[in-house]
Every structure is written in structure tokens, then in C-alpha cells.
Amino acid sequence: MNDFSNNNTVLQARKIEKTFHEGATALTVLNGLDLTLLAGEFVSIVGTSGSGKSTLLHVLGGLELPTSGQVDLMGQPFSTLNETKRGDLRNQYLGFVYQFHHLLAEFNAVENVAMPMMMRQTISVETARTTATDLLKQVGLGHRLTHKPGELSGGERQRVAIARALVTRPAVVLADEPTGNLDRKTAQDILAILQELRKTLNMALLVVTHDESLARAADRMLHMDDGQWRANG
């Protein structure tokens, strides 16, 4: 039985294991992980390359299914839903920010940001574009609304990616090395934006990072080692 009804838990993972098979070889990347994320909470995950951090984000975000264990999102058994229902729940409650922005080159900033909202058939194109425009202004890109990704700097592209992740007002944002390709000043700007919008929207933020200043800014910092939480993390 879950405990969503009597607290502000938004994402919960229980005994998550993930094993990849290649021929007769089995590689266990996640080994019995538990994680609880509360509304508005900022949690960072640090660890060496290959420790399982990105795989955990993919499992928490429903992009990969766990070999065993369960992920619950907003009180629903996220990891046991079929692909269609998982996609619907992800669009409603989750936002993703990656190290590489994954913006669509043929669309401008407003169109890229509006796209997750336009996937919802109940929202008009006009509403989606207006919401996207407002959010781009919040991240300091009011002067870049009609620019395509190729016309933006690396920091500006990452701001567009953050706006896209937040445009649906998700309960949880999962970020994988969001400042990994940015210089120190731009990385600090991105952190400030994430912190401000997290508080404004009361969203939970889970960040995988090698950036110590970003990791230490979190409410909780977890250390991963060989697919498990390190005891002193």
C-alpha cells in the first residue's frame, strides 16, 4: 500500500532493479533502489560515470521499465501501466531536461516550448503559444521568441529546453546533467532559473549532475555507487 494519500509525495520508487542482458551476459545497473520525492523538493544525485544515475532517471521517467520493483507517480503505479497510459501520465506530470537540449531545429523557440502542451488535444494552439511565450520571458528569452535553435547560444538553447520541460507545469522535473555543456557563469544562471521556477511552481526537481555547486544547492544530495545508494550519501 502506498502512502500518497497522507503526505505530499509525488514520485516514489521501491526496490528498483534494472538488468541488461546481452547474450549470456547479465549486467545489473540498478540494485534494489528506493527513492521518495516530495512536492517542491530539490534532490541531486551524484556518482561516477557508469554508476547507474542516468538509467535510474530513465526508469523513474517511464522511458525504461524496471526489471523488478515499482515506480509510482502521483499515486499511480506508473511502471506497471501500458505504454499509452504511461505516456499520458508522463505528459501530464513529468518534465525532462537533458545535457543535450534535443530541440527541434526546424521550429523556433516558442514552437519548441509549446509542443508538449499541443500534444494535449484539450489545449488550443493559441493557449499553448501564449503559455510558451510567457515562460520564455520568465527565463530571459523574451527577445528570442522567433529564433530557431541554430540561432541561439548554448545557454539560450538550454533555457528553451528548461521552458519546454516546465510548460505543462509538471509535478516533477527530471534533469540529466542540465549544466554539463555550459560554462561556469551560464551554469550558475541555469541553476538560478531552476531554483526560482521550482519555488514558483512548487515542482519537485531531481537532478543527476557532476557539477558540485549544483549538487550542493539541493535539499538532499544522494550518492550512487554501482547501482546502490552509498551509505554515507
Please give the helix or strand (H or E) that residue 190 lies within, else none.
helix 184-201
% of the chain residues with pLDDT over 90: 26
pLDDT beyond 60 at 217: yes
pLDDT of residue 3: 39
Q: What is the pLDDT of residue 7?
A: 64
Q: In the prediction, which pLDDT does 172 show? A: 92
Cβ atoms of 13 and 70 closer than 8 Å = yes
User: Residue 169 is part of which domain span?
Assistant: 4-229
* Res 197 pLDDT > 70: yes
d(CA 160, CA 98): 12
- The confidence band for 42, taking pLDDT boundaries of 50, 70 and 90, is very high
| Spatial contact of 198 and 40, defined as CB atoms under 8 Å apart | yes
- Compute CA distances 153 → 98, 175, 190, 198, whole Å: 16, 20, 13, 24
202: left (phi over 0), alpha (psi -120 to 50) or beta: left
Q: For residues 55 and 104, what is the distance between their CA atoms, to the nearest angstrom? A: 24
DSSP 149: G
| Dihedral sign from CA coordinates of 90, 91, 94, 100 | positive
H-run or E-run covering 32: strand 25-38
Dist. CA 218–CA 44, nearest whole Å: 6
pTM: 0.82
Count of structural domains, the chain: 1
Classify 102 as helix, strand or coil: coil
Contact (CB, 8 A) for 115 and 164:
yes
CATH of the domain at 70: 3.40.50.300
**Mean pLDDT along residues 87-101:** 81
Tell me if 122 sits within 8 A of 79, measured CB to CB: no
Write down the pLDDT at residue 1: 31
What pLDDT digit, counting tens, does each position of 54-81 carry? 889 999 998 889 999 999 999 888 888 8
Average pLDDT over residues 8-31: 89
pLDDT at 4: 38
Is the confidence at residue 2, as pLDDT, over 60?
A: no
Q: Do 56 and 84 contact (CB within 8 A), yes or no?
A: no
d(CA 157, CA 37): 28
